[in-house]
Amino acid sequence: MVKISKAKEQSEAVIEEFFQTRVGKQETWEHEYGYFLELEGERIGFFVLYPLEGGGCWLRRLMMCQGIKPAAYVMAFDWAAEKATSLGYESIYVHARTEEAVPLLEMNRFKQTENPGVDMEDEVDWYMRRLNR
Residue 25 pLDDT grade (very low, low, confident, very high; cuts 50, 70, 90): low
- The whole-angstrom separation of Cα 96 and Cα 84 is 19
> In a 3-state reduction of DSSP, which class is residue 2?
strand
Q: Is the pLDDT of residue 26 over 80?
A: no
Residue 31's pLDDT is 87
The whole-number pLDDT of residue 14 equals 84
Question: Residue 37's pLDDT is what?
Answer: 95
Q: For the chain, which domains are there? A: 2-130 (3.40.630.30)
Between CA 81 and CA 121 the distance in angstroms is 26
Query: Distance (Å, rounded) from C-alpha 35 to C-alpha 115?
Result: 24
Task: Give, in order, the Cα–Cα distances in Å from 117 to each of 6, 21, 54, 106, 127.
Answer: 25, 32, 10, 21, 13
The angle at the Cα of 131, spanning 94 to 127, to the nearest 5 degrees, equals 25
Q: What is the pLDDT of residues 53-99, one digit of tens each?
A: 999 999 999 999 888 888 888 899 999 999 999 999 999 999 999 99
pLDDT reported for residue 18: 83
Confidence (pLDDT) at 85: 97
pTM of the entire structure?
0.90
Nearest-CA neighbor of 87 among 117, 50, 38, 62?
A: 50
